[in-house]
Structure 1
Amino acid sequence: MKRIYYLVLFLLGITLNSCDDDFLNRVPLDQISDPEFWNSTGDMELYLNTFYDTFDGWPPSGGGNAPTKDRGTDIALPAINVFGASWTPRLDGAINIPASGGGWNWVNIRNINYFLANVDRVKVRNNMTDHYIGEGHFFRAWFYYEMMKNFGDLPIIDKPVTEADVDILNAPRNKRTEVFNFILNDLEIAISKMRPSNQLATPGTRLSKDIALMFKARACLYEGTWEKYHQGTPFAGQTDGKAYLQQAADAALQIVDGGNYSLVVGNPNRVYADLFNRTNYAGVSEVIFYKHYDREAHGNTFGNQLWNWPNAYGYTYEATKFFLCKDGLPIAVSPLFVGDATLDILEKNRDPRLAQSVMVPTDIRRIQGTDTTYFILPDVLNSGTGIESRKFRHIVVDPAVGIQNHNVDYIFMRLPEAMLIYAEAKAELGTLTQADVDKTINKIRDRVGMPHLKLSSITPDPNWPNYGYAIPDYLHEIRRERTVELFAEGFRFDDLMRWRAHAYWVGKRFVGTFATPALIAIAPAVPRNQAGFFDPYQNALSGPGSTFGFNPGRDYLLPIPTNELTLNQNLTQNPGW
C-alpha cells in the first residue's frame, strides 16, 4: 500500500506540472518518489502501467462521439458541426505558432527516463525483470517517435533532467535521422529483452516482443519512405531511406513468417466487418495488440456507444473509389461497375470490404432483443457526407446496458499491417516479387474472395492518385491495398505525410454522396457542389476557393512554440514558420 501511495504522489506531481510544457522548471522526480519504491519487479510493473493509457483507443464518451482517427483526411470528414476536428487543420495548413504547448510536451519522455534510470535499484528480481526494462525502452521509443513525426529534429535526452543539467537544457536539436537511430536503438533493446506475447499472462494487451517488432516495422517504413520522398526538401533526413526500408521488411517478415499470427477467415461477405465489432480480442489470431474495454472496469469514460452513430464523421466519395470491382479491375475500366454516386448502388459488384465498411439502405442499424432496425437514410448532418461507417459498429444491443454499450475493444496492431509493410517496403526497394505479393496482399484478398494481384498484368487505373511524382503500377496497387484493408484505422494522415503526397490534396476538396431529394430534405444545411454532391468543406478551408491550403514548404512539420525558443536559444524553428 505504501508503494501505491508514493506512486499516486508521483503521478500527482505529473498532473500538477502537466499544464506547463517547460520541463526546465519541473520538480526533480527523485524528490517526490519513495526511496523504497524500487524494491521489486512488481514496482516496475506498477510504474509502467501508468503509461498504457497513452495508447489512444476510444475517446471519452463525454465527447459525444467516437470518430475514426482518420477523420479530417481525404477518406473521412468531420460533421459540419465539428468542423476542424482531427487532421483538417494540418492538411489545410491552418496551424498557428503557439506560445506554448502545441504538442511540444516532454512529460512522458522525462518520466520514462526516470524509470530507466532507476531500474538498477530493483533488488528483488524475477523472470519478468528484463521484460519490464524492455517495456521501458519501448515506451521511450514510442514517445520519441510520436514527437519526431510532428517536429522532426529533437534534442536527444536519455536521462532525468535536473536544473544542474545546463548543457542538456540548452542543447540544440539533433537531426531527425539521429533521433530515429536513437529510437531504433531503444527498440532493439526492447526486442532483445521482452517476452513473446504468448508467454505473457495477458497476451495482446501487455507489450511484448511481437509488438516491439511490429512497431519497428511500422516506424522503419515511416522513416524510410519519409527520407526517400523528402530528399532535396527542407524536411530531408540524412539518408535515402533504403536501410530503414530494409529493416522494415525484415521486421515485418518476422511477424508474417513467425507462425504466431494468422488471418481470421470466414464468410467473405461478413468476416471483415465482424472482425471490428468484437467485445474481446483475446485469442483472435490476427490481432497483435489491442485495448480491452468493459463497462465494469471503465464505467462511462470511453466511447463507441451505439446511440452516438454516425459519431460525427462520414467517409468521402473519393475514399470509395479506392475499392476495386469484384473482377479485380478498377471501377474506371471494369464492365461490372454500375455507378457509385448514390448509396443504393455504391456497393454493387465491388470489393466486399466496401460493403463491410459503409452503410447503405437495407443494412442492419440495430438489433435489440427481437427488434431489428434497418438503415434507410443516413444522418447527413451528423456525418457530413452521408456515407456512414459500418466498420466498428456493434449493432447487437446488450440488454443489460442498452444502446449506451461500450464494450467494443480497440485494435492497435494486426497481422495485415505487417503484410502490407513488407510488400510496400520491398516495392520501395525495387525487390518485390510475385512470391512476396502472394504471401501478403493476395492472402489478404483471399479472405474476402477478391482476385489476386499479378505483377505481370496490372491494369492501369485512370483514377490513380496524383502524388506529384511517378511511381510504378505495382506501388500504386500496394498503396491502394493499404488504404482499403486499413481503412479508417488511423494510418491515413501518416501515410500522406511520409509519401510527401501534397499534390494529391492541395487545392482540392473532398465530398460526400450525391444529394438526392430525400437526403436534401433531411439535411438542407449541408452545402452541395455544382455536381450535386454533399460538400461540407465548401466554405470552410483556407486555400483558394475554399480548398486545402497546405504549404508544402512549411506544413509537413509543426512549429516550435515561441516560449521554447526564448527559453533555449539554441533551438531553431522548423522550416517555413
Structure 2
Amino acid sequence: MRRILFISSLLCVLTACDDYLDRQPESSVTPEVYMNDAEHLDSYVLKTYSALIKGHHGRGFATLLTSDFKTDDKAKDEDMPLFQPGELRVDESGGEWSFDNIRNCNYFFAEVLPKYKAGAISGDENLIKHYIGEMCFFRAYEYFNKVKKLGDFPIITEVQGMDYEALVTSSKREPRTKVIRFILQDLEDAITMMQDKSPDNGKRNRLSKDVARLFKSRVALFEASWLRNFAGTAFVPNGIGWPGEEVHPDFQFEKGSIEAEVDDLLDIAMEYAKQVAEAHPELTTNNGILKQEESDVNNPYFFMFGDCDLSGYDEVLLWRDYDQSLGIIHGTTVGVTTGNYFVGVTKGLVDSYLMRDGRPYYVASQEQPYVGDDYIADVVKNRDNRLQLFLKVPGQKNKVTNIDFEISPAVETYPMLFHPSWGYTTGYALRKYGNFDGKQTNQQFGSDTGCPIFRTVEAYLNYIEASYMKNGVIDDFAAKYWEKIRTRALVDDNYQNTINLTDMNKEAEGDWAAYTAGELVDATMYNIRRERRNEFISEGMRKDDLLRWRSMDQMIVTPYIVKGFKLWGPMEEWYKKEDGTSELIDFGNNPNVSPRSESDYLLPYQINPKQMNYGGLRWTMAHYLTPIAAKHFILTGGENSVIYQNPGWKTTAGSSAVE
C-alpha cells in the first residue's frame, strides 16, 4: 500500500486528480465508471481524509500550535465575540448547518454497499471492507462535529435529490442523544469492517480499529458529560425550554431516563477506552531531556510531536504526514522558533502544572520548592516535566543543527512582545511540535514534521474520567493509567496526595475547569481535568472539554481576566532601550502593555479600552451552542420552518443571544 499524505494536492499525484467528491451523484456516468474496484474506493476515501482530518494545515496560523486560544489556555491579540455577550450574532447564511461532507459519505455508501453485497467490486476483500469502514468512521466524525456545535441535528443516510419537499423533510432536527446513538453505531460498523492495523504497511497514516475504538470512547464520554452537566436545561432533550419539544413531544431516551442514558454512555466510554489502553500498555518514553546539543540523546516524548516520521511511536494511532519535496508542508516549527504566531500561553495554564513531588505550586515543599515567576526560567524549576519541555525559556537553543539555515532566532531571547512577525501575546510561548533542525524552521520552504492526531494516552484519560463519573472512585485500572501518565511526566505518581493538597478556590483563579454549572467541582474530578489539560496542551482538545463540562457559567456573573507572564518585575528590564528608556508604555492614548497599577502580570485584553474583551471575558448560556444561520429557516418555511433555533438565539440575521 502506497504511503499516504493527508493533503489534497498530493491526491492529484496519486489518483490523477480524479475529483470524485465534486462529481454530481445524479450523473449516470459515475456509477458505471467508478466504485467498481478497490482502487476506486481507495481514491475516494483518500480525498475524504484531506477534507475531514486536520492537523497542521499549511503555512502560518492554521496549526495545532495555535489551537485552544479561545479558552483559558491561550490568548490571541484579537476580538473574541464568543466571550462578549451581544457581539456574537446569527449569520445570514452558511455556518455549521451544512451537509457537504455527510452527503459525500452517503454517496459513497449509496454506490458501494449494493455492489459490495452483490460481490460486484473487484479487488482484495479485506481492503474493500476496510475502505467501507473508513467511510463509516468519517460519517461519524462529521456528525460528531455537528453535535458538538449545534446539538440536535438531522440524521440523513441517503443522497438527497432535488425534490424540495423531500429536502425540507430531511431537515428535521433529531434529538442530540439520538444522533449520538447513530454515531456510535457508525463507529461500531467501522470497528467491524476495518483491519486491526492500517493498510499502509503499519505507518498509521490511515485509520484502524483502535482509532475507531478510541474515538467511540471520546464520543460517549462527551455526551455523558454533556447530559449530566446540562440536565434539566434547554440544552438537553426534555429539559426545561428545550426547543425540540414541539417537534418531538414524545421523545424518550433510549435507556428510559437521562440518568440511565448517562450511565450507559459511561459504560461505553470505559469499555472502549480500556480496550485501547490495554492493547497499548506502554506510553512513549520521556527521558526528561530537552535537546540542546547535537550530542544530547533525543527525548522520544518530545520528538513524538516534532519528528518527521511518527510510525515508530506506538502511542500515535493516527498521524498526518508531510513532504517538503512535494510541497506538502506546514509552518508549525517556524511558529515554535518564534512567538507561536501571536498566540500566547496563559498564567492559568502555567500555574496548573504540579511540582515534581505532586504538590500544587502554592503548597510546594522545601525539598521541591516553587521558585516563583519573576523569570520564566524560574517558573519551570522543580515542575512537571511537560512544562519544562514545552514552555519556552530564554537562553534555550531553538536550533541545534543547521543553525544558520533560517533567519528565525537560534537562541530563545526574551519574549519579543512588539516584534511585527514574532510577537509574544502573553510573554509565554510553547515549543511543543518543535524540531531542533534549522531546515525544519524555514519560513520559505516550510516544515514536513508529522502531526499526531490520535494518541493512546487519551484512552487512559477517558477511562479515568468516565469511571470516576460512573462510580465515584478511582478503580484499579484508573489508578494504573493515572500513575503511568504522571510517571511519564516525571511527577510523583501519588495522585491522592495531590488531591488532598488541592485548594479549589486557588485552582479556580486560573482554571475554568474548576467549575461545572457555576459551582466548584470536587478535588478528585478537578485533578482528573487538570491531567487532561496538562497532557493535551495545544492539541485542540480544551474547548470541547470546557463545553461538555459546562465550565463557563461563572463568567456570566464574574468576568475572567486573562493573565500572562509577570511583566512588572525583573523581566521589565528586558525592554530597556539603549538610551535607558523603556519600550513598555502602560499609560496615555497608545499603550502597548497593560497598566502596572492593575497587575504585575501582563493582561493581554486590558491594554486597549477599545478591545472588545477589555474588562474581562464574559459568557452567556446561549454560547454553549452555535446559532443556525437565518437563511436556513427561510429556505425551510420561514416562521413555519421544520428547523428550530438553538436555546437563547433568534432566527433573525444579525441578532445576538437573548439574555
Fold-level match, TM-score > 0.5?
yes
Instruction: Tell whether 2:560 aligns with 1:508.
Output: yes
Deviations 1:14-45 (A, max 9, x none): xxxxxxxxxxxxx5444573522121011111
Give the letter for the 2:74 counterpart: A
| Equivalent position of 2:502 in the other structure | 460
Aligned residues: 553
Give the letter for the 1:112 counterpart: C
| Equivalent position of 1:22 in the other structure | none
Mapping for residues 42-441 of structure 1, pairs under 5 Å: 42-53=39-50, 54-61=52-59, 63=61, 67-78=65-76, 80=77, 83-84=78-79, 88-93=80-85, 94-119=87-112, 120-121=114-115, 122-126=120-124, 127-164=126-163, 166-171=165-170, 172-197=172-197, 200-237=200-237, 238=253, 239-240=258-259, 241-259=262-280, 262-270=282-290, 271=299, 272-299=301-328, 303-305=332-334, 309-335=339-365, 336-369=369-402, 373-381=410-418, 382-398=423-439, 404-441=445-482
* Counterpart Cα distance in 1 of 2:206 and 2:400: 33
| Equivalent position of 1:564 in the other structure | 632
SS in structure 2 opposite 1:38?
Answer: coil
Give the letter for the 2:387 counterpart: L
| Equivalent position of 1:532 in the other structure | 600
Give the letter for the 2:268 counterpart: Q
Change (3 A) 1:40 1:548: same
Tell me the CA shift for residue 330 of structure 1: 0.7
Shifted more, 283-292 versus 55-64: the winner is: 55-64
| Equivalent position of 2:618 in the other structure | 549
Deviations 1:238-277 (A, max 9, x none): 5232211111111000001114x63111413444433322
Task: Tell me if the contact between 2:230 and 2:236 (Cα under 8 Å) persists in the aligned partners.
Answer: yes
* Counterpart Cα distance in 1 of 2:454 and 2:440: 30
Q: Percent identity?
A: 27
* Counterpart Cα distance in 2 of 1:434 and 1:4: 50
* Counterpart Cα distance in 2 of 1:400 and 1:426: 42
Give the letter for the 2:318 counterpart: F
Change (3 A) 1:6 1:481: closer
Deviations 1:426-448 (A, max 9, x none): 11112533523432111011123
Instruction: Tell whether 2:574 aligns with 1:575.
Output: no
| Equivalent position of 1:36 in the other structure | 33
Deviations 1:50-101 (A, max 9, x none): 11112111122155876421122111111x2xx14xxx43344442101111
Change (3 A) 1:505 1:287: farther
Change (3 A) 1:199 1:61: closer
Tell me the CA shift for residue 532 of structure 1: 2.5
Task: Tell me if the contact between 1:312 and 1:384 (Cα under 8 Å) persists in the aligned partners.
Answer: yes
Give the letter for the 1:283 counterpart: G
| Equivalent position of 2:7 in the other structure | none
* Counterpart Cα distance in 1 of 2:443 and 2:330: 16
Shifted more, 136-145 versus 344-353: the winner is: 344-353
* Counterpart Cα distance in 2 of 1:500 and 1:69: 20
TM-score (norm: length of structure 1): 0.89
Task: Tell me if the contact between 2:72 and 2:562 (Cα under 8 Å) persists in the aligned partners.
Answer: yes
Deviations 1:127-162 (A, max 9, x none): 211111111111110010001111001111001000
Give the letter for the 1:89 counterpart: P
| Equivalent position of 2:18 in the other structure | 7
| Equivalent position of 1:495 in the other structure | 545
* Counterpart Cα distance in 2 of 1:522 and 1:435: 55
* Counterpart Cα distance in 2 of 1:470 and 1:65: 33
SS in structure 1 opposite 2:483?
Answer: helix
Task: Tell me if the contact between 2:134 and 2:194 (Cα under 8 Å) persists in the aligned partners.
Answer: yes
Larger radius of gyration: 2
Q: Which runs of 5+ in 2 are unaligned?
A: 1-11, 238-252, 291-298, 509-513, 576-581, 586-590, 650-659
Task: Tell me if the contact between 1:137 and 1:186 (Cα under 8 Å) persists in the aligned partners.
Answer: yes
Task: Tell me if the contact between 1:67 and 1:312 (Cα under 8 Å) persists in the aligned partners.
Answer: no
Change (3 A) 1:221 1:233: same
RMSD of aligned residue pairs (Cα, Å): 2.7
* Counterpart Cα distance in 2 of 1:432 and 1:540: 48
SS in structure 2 opposite 1:360?
Answer: coil
Change (3 A) 1:325 1:504: farther
Task: Tell me if the contact between 1:214 and 1:251 (Cα under 8 Å) persists in the aligned partners.
Answer: yes
| Equivalent position of 2:6 in the other structure | none
* Counterpart Cα distance in 1 of 2:560 and 2:363: 24
SS in structure 1 opposite 2:430?
Answer: coil
Change (3 A) 1:64 1:423: closer
Instruction: Tell whether 2:552 aligns with 1:518.
Output: no
Tell me the CA shift for residue 472 of structure 1: 2.7
* Counterpart Cα distance in 2 of 1:143 and 1:338: 46
Tell me the CA shift for residue 364 of structure 1: 1.4
Tell me the CA shift for residue 504 of structure 1: 5.1
Task: Tell me if the contact between 2:59 and 2:331 (Cα under 8 Å) persists in the aligned partners.
Answer: yes
* Counterpart Cα distance in 2 of 1:376 and 1:302: 20
